[in-house]
Every structure is written in structure tokens, then in C-alpha cells.
């Protein structure tokens, strides 16, 4: 029998379900670059309807989806986008909006809940009729849920207020909604309502929803027409992509309803971790499927050592700083997995069980 494996690095690590594999094998396909793939067209239409937008476009990744969103709205090189200083687009997407798009990022501090102060957003806006030294602001970006802030949900009330600021100043609003379905479930708000005031939204299919590949970007028909051209420019136009869309269609059908259980297990896990001497979890930050915990001075293992010990027992986690570790729950993590992982973490932190039984038996 092989070692038990519990992969908590991200919700991107899920494997395709049997239903997904069957749908992929039986998908009706054609050349999507020639706009002929019927499965892709059906899935894009379904996603547009779910998100409350006119049209949608399947793309290979969330990074490409966000890049396309920014570049469509900032067609003039040297345009400026206002975004959080701790957001995914700014930190983890290789600076693509600048290196490829010539777009200048103007950051506003993210609060602990993932929001930015509304007054600071408005103060950061710069117009063409101002000093000629400044770039022109054309876009505001939000992230929902906000990953680096612990998977926190951005409320519809806050999003609407940012939308009002954007409209007042003639700007566009893009939402990086990589885990927006998690936010919808946690807040009890329909996903289309969370996206209502946005001009474009990127939705990752391979995170909480558990599809093997891809993201979708949604917006108006004219926006998607431009997005499709940019997708081709960036090398994201694919041929028989209905194979991937078929799996994503199953994910949308089967896994949205499982997100609430992911959130429940994350809260149970976080509560348990917070009771262990040497660990600290800000329980108010655990709103969806993510847990960030700090390893304090009372622990017998540093975060680096803890990750090493856990990997030796089949548990994969992600160190995010010199003091903290991230865990992400998904539909392929069972309650038994949570129990096993917790006991391994607890015994490692307390300095027991390194060479023996890590199951708590």
C-alpha cells in the first residue's frame, strides 16, 4: 500500500472526475479558432448566462484571462490601472500587464479583508486633463475572493460602490473572480449579482470548481470580440477545445454545490489548528476554502521544517512566508483527510511522532 497523500497546496491540484473524463471522451468538437466548436460555444453561452453578461470566452489560464481583461480596457499604451498592492494580478502574474501591455499599475493598499479604501481608490485616479507627467487611469481591478488575504469575500455592497466610482470617472471595472463562486456561496449572493457592475470578470475553472484546465472571461459582446483577438495574439486560441470545455461544464454542474462543504471543512480545520500551542490562525479570515496559519515561537518546528516533515508523511502544503503556511481545501479532500493532516501537523509542531505514528493512534 502506498503512502497516503493529502494535497493541500491549492485547489488547482484536483484530478478530473470520472464524469469529467467521460464528458471529455464524448465531446463533440471542431476548430474553435474558426468558431466552429459546438461544445465550446455551448459552454461559453452557459457561462455568460450564469455570470449575467452578454458573452464569454474560454482561455487557457486565469493569468491570460486577467491580462486580456486589462489590455482590452487599456488599449492605449501607457494607460494606468488601479489595483490592490497584494492582489494576484500585481504579485503573481509576471508583470504581464506592463511587460506585454504597457499598462502602468498604480497600487492602493489592500486591507486585511481584501478591500481597498474607497477614498484612496478615488484619490489615485489620474485624468488626461491633469498634469502631463502622469499616466491616464482607465481601469480599476478587484479580486474576489482575495487569495492573499485568506480567501476573503468582497461584498456586493462594496463592489457596487467601487463600480459607482468607476462610472463617475469614466473608468472600467474588472474583477479577478478566480474564486468568485466561492464568494457567491459563502455570501449567499448569486454570482451574477457579484459581477453586475463589472465590465469584465475572469472566472477560473480549475480552482474551486475543480476542472482540469482553463478560465473564462465574460463581458459585453463588443468586449469579447476584442478579447478573442487578444487571445489569438497571446497564443491562447486552441482548436478542438471542446474537450476541455466539456470537463468544465461538468465542473460547473457538479461542484458549485460542493463549495459550501469545502468551506465548512476549512473552518473545522482552522478551529483545530488554532488550539495547538505554537500555531495561530486568524479565524475571522477563514471565510471560504483557505487557511493561513502562523508558526509562532512556541513551536518545535519552523515553517520550512514543518513542510518537510509533512511531506514525509504525504501531506503537501505551501509555505507563504518565513512564518506562515497556507492550506487550501477542495472537493477531493475528505473529513478523514482533514483529521489525518491535522494530527500530523499537531504532532510535528509539538515535537512528537516524527519517526512514529502520525495518525494520532
Rounded-to-integer distance, Cα 111 and Cα 154, Å = 11
Cα distances (angstroms) measured from residue 286 to each of 103, 114, 141, 297: 33, 12, 23, 23
Non-local CB neighbours of 103 within 8 Å, separated by 6+ positions:
70, 71, 74, 77, 78, 79, 80, 81, 97
Burial group, residue 34, by CB count within 10 angstroms (0-12, 13-18, 19+): exposed
Whether 143 contacts 87, CB under 8 Å: yes
Whether 33 contacts 57, CB under 8 Å: no
Q: Closest Cα partner for 7 from 311, 309, 323?
A: 311
Is residue 105 classed as helix, strand or coil in its secondary structure? Answer: strand
- Enter the C-alpha cell of residue 74: 487599456
Q: Which residues of the chain have pLDDT under 70?
A: 1-2, 130, 352-361
> Going by DSSP bridges, is the β-strand pair 324-328/318-319 parallel, antiparallel, or unpaired?
antiparallel
Whether 229 contacts 34, CB under 8 Å: no
Rounded-to-integer distance, Cα 173 and Cα 161, Å = 11
Radius of gyration of the chain (CA): 21
Rounded-to-integer distance, Cα 96 and Cα 103, Å = 9
Rounded-to-integer distance, Cα 345 and Cα 361, Å = 14
Non-local CB neighbours of 189 within 8 Å, separated by 6+ positions:
156, 183
Rounded-to-integer distance, Cα 44 and Cα 42, Å = 6
Rounded-to-integer distance, Cα 159 and Cα 235, Å = 32
pLDDT at 353: 53
Rounded-to-integer distance, Cα 130 and Cα 136, Å = 9
CB atoms within 10 A of CB 341: 26
Non-local CB neighbours of 143 within 8 Å, separated by 6+ positions:
84, 87, 88, 89, 114, 154, 175, 176, 177, 178
Q: What is residue 284's DSSP assignment?
A: G
pLDDT at 352: 64
pLDDT at 3: 80
Rounded-to-integer distance, Cα 58 and Cα 217, Å = 7
Q: Which helix (H) or strand (E) holds 175?
A: strand 172-176
The CA-CA-CA angle for residues 302, 306, 309, to 5°, reads 140
The CA-CA-CA angle for residues 13, 67, 117, to 5°, reads 90
- The pTM score is 0.95
Q: Which helix (H) or strand (E) holds 324?
A: strand 324-328
Is residue 46 classed as helix, strand or coil in its secondary structure? Answer: helix
Determine the length of the chain: 361
Amino acid at each position: 500500500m502506498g503512502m497516503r497523500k493529502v494535497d493541500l497546496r491549492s485547489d488547482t491540484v484536483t484530478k478530473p472526475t470520472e464524469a469529467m473524463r467521460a464528458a471529455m471522451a464524448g465531446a463533440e468538437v471542431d476548430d474553435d479558432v474558426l468558431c466552429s466548436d459546438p461544445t465550446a460555444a455551448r459552454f461559453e453561452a452557459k457561462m455568460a448566462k450564469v455570470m449575467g453578461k452578454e458573452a464569454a470566452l474560454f482561455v487557457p489560464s486565469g493569468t491570460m484571462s486577467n491580462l486580456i481583461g486589462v489590455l482590452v480596457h487599456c488599449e492605449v499604451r501607457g494607460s494606468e490601472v488601479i489595483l490592490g498592492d497584494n492582489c494576484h494580478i500585481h504579485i503573481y502574474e509576471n508583470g504581464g500587464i506592463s511587460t506585454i501591455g504597457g499598462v502602468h499599475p498604480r497600487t492602493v493598499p489592500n486591507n486585511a479583508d481584501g478591500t481597498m479604501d474607497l477614498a484612496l481608490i478615488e484619490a489615485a485616479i489620474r485624468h488626461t486633463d491633469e498634469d502631463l507627467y502622469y499616466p491616464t487611469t482607465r481601469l480599476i481591478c478587484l479580486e474576489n475572493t482575495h487569495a492573499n488575504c485568506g480567501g476573503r469575500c468582497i461584498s456586493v455592497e462594496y463592489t457596487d460602490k467601487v463600480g459607482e466610482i468607476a462610472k463617475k470617472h469614466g473608468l472600467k471595472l474588472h474583477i479577478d473572480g478566480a474564486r468568485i463562486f466561492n464568494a457567491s456561496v459563502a455570501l449567499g449572493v448569486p454570482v451574477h449579482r457579484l459581477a453586475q457592475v463589472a465590465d469584465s470578470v475572469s472566472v477560473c475553472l480549475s480552482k474551486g470548481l475543480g476542472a482540469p484546465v482553463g478560465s473564462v472571461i465574460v463581458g459585453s459582446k463588443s468586449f469579447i470580440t476584442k478579447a478573442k483577438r487578444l487571445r489569438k495574439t497571446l497564443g491562447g486560441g486552441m482548436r478542438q477545445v471542446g474537450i476541455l470545455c466539456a470537463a468544465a461544464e461538468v465542473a460547473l454542474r457538479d461542484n458549485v454545490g460542493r463549495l459550501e462543504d469545502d468551506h465548512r471543512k476549512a473552518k473545522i480545520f482552522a478551529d483545530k489548528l488554532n488550539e495547538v500551542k505554537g500555531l495561530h490562525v486568524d479565524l475571522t479570515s477563514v471565510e471560504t476554502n483557505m487557511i493561513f496559519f502562523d508558526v509562532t515561537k512556541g513551536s518545535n518546528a519552523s515553517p520550512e521544517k514543518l513542510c518537510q516533515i509533512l511531506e514525509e508523511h504525504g501531506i503537501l502544503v505551501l509555505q507563504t512566508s518565513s512564518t506562515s503556511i497556507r492550506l487550501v481545501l477542495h472537493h477531493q479532500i475528505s473529513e478523514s483527510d482533514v483529521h489525518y493532516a491535522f494530527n500530523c501537523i499537531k504532532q510535528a509542531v509539538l515535537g512528537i511522532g516524527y519517526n512514529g505514528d502520525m495518525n494520532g493512534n
